[in-house]
Structure 1
Amino acid sequence: MERIRFEFVIKAMENDPKTNVLCITSLEFEKHTYLIPEKLQPARLHEQVIKTQVYLKLKDTIHKRHDKRQVWIRVTPEIRGAYMDEDGNMQFKGYLLEECDIQKPAACISEEAMTEFFENFNACKKETGKSYNIKKLTEKFVLQKFNKKTSNVTQWLDIFEMECTRMSITEDSVKIEALRLFLEDSSLDWYSSMLIKYTLNSEWSTWKENFCETFADRGWSPVRYAILFKYRQGSLMEYALKKEKLLLEINKTMDSSTLIDLIATGLPNFIADKIDRCNIKETKDLFNNIRGLEHLANKKYLNNNAGNLGNKNKEKDSNYKPCRICEKENKGSRYHPESLCWFKNNSYNNKREHIRTVNNSELETELNEIDPKN
């Protein structure tokens, strides 16, 4: 079955650049492509084409300027009469169409040329790598700075080397220069000393060995702290994540089962007992269970506070006895120190007033008995 492939393009109208018009720019028949002159490109002039079902689909497909589609249309007697003359020449409305010669792809490049190209490319890449801004390059490192809180120096240095490999930093001098940007505290003084002794042109292995020997923690303190770290208060998830980090810092090759056991044993017993150990295969499974038990930790915290308050009240009751002064004054059982009792002072004042009254009466009697003439 004979077919012609038409190329449709939405272009600006010649007289009105703001208006779009659907045009047919070329057609392909029997592996030959023919160009349609610009004045004959508007699709409305191709009466036999716009009657086909393919054209109706095309109108719903492309809408924006410069949109392009190539579609096949079956050669009917009407299509043949519109685009071919009696001698088989491609034409449209009496205009013989120009055939377009399509350039064939260039021959394959020889193996020698490809080899030479890649050698030149690698050489250029090396030269370009030397001019890299080390500071900008290391900003992409996924690595925390080394300081006194870093527990495992060997593991930290391994991560540094992996990041250098990821960023294509292979030269020893560049690694040494990049190392300075990830040091803090006393490690910066170590770097300055090493720079004086060995310079930037030394081997990376020398710096690595010296770094590990200088800052390696050969004691058990980090290990003890990581293993004995337990939940005290606050968020359960924060505890679990920190415990995992501490354990991996001392041994990143620790298997998942051991990691899960050590994290779970640091939880309160009443929370850990609610987690089914058989269903925990990875640390993420443990974290999911812990997240669902956060409310228990909060409830326990509130109960502890209430219990502490009750204990304080009990202590208060046991330390203070009913005030005897209040009992004598018939004021009921009141719990406060007798030295601070208000009724004690009131009783004392009443007693003083009573004494004054008695003394005044006696004085008045004595004065009456004395002879006024004297």
Structure 2
Amino acid sequence: MASITSKLYFHIIKRNNDEFELAGISENKETWYVLPEEMKDLSLHEALSTKRAIINTINSIKPINGYRKICIKLDDELRKEYYDEDENLCFLDNMLEEKIIDNKHRDEPDDNFLNERIKELEAKLSLNDNFKLQDVEKKFILDKFNKKQNPTEWIEKFENESRRHKILNPTNFIEALRFFLSGSPKDWYESNLKKIGLTNWSEWRKKNRI
């Protein structure tokens, strides 16, 4: 039986302008409990998302995929939401997957995150000021991917259109790609975004089974 602490740590990620994900919960920042995909939407966590500290936190996260790890003092409302009757950490009585982080490498994700953000900012600065990414759907001569096309050939056409409009940075390639995907290909995109990130276009290209 676990012993309930007086506080919990929450790992929050910004997935879109108005979408935030609760990626993990911890009692000690070493062992994290990961939520199932269908439970990660922060809006589902009513007791947590109304806390002033959480509201301030999500307002402070600016870049897409930016994140914060924040400590919240437990009250009765949070205890009810994140512990079962046997004092096990959970979410609404759903047991969570346990993930232990090696203390020797605990700082590495933050370093990688900062490097990713720097590369993304550099990419945005290098993009032609006369061309905004949200305009790609209008300006690209390219049909959205619908799974009937050959993925390799479609990716090549996408790359050609990107170069034609002087979108040359890998991060901008990846961000532009999302405007041409929907349905299961969009799920593929979101999965790769989490696994690969926004800077390694060559790795995305290897996994072109959209």
TM-score (norm 1): 0.25
Q: Answer 1 or 2: which has greater strand percent.
A: 2
Higher Rg? 1
TM-score (norm 2): 0.44
Q: Answer 1 or 2: which has greater helix percent.
A: 1
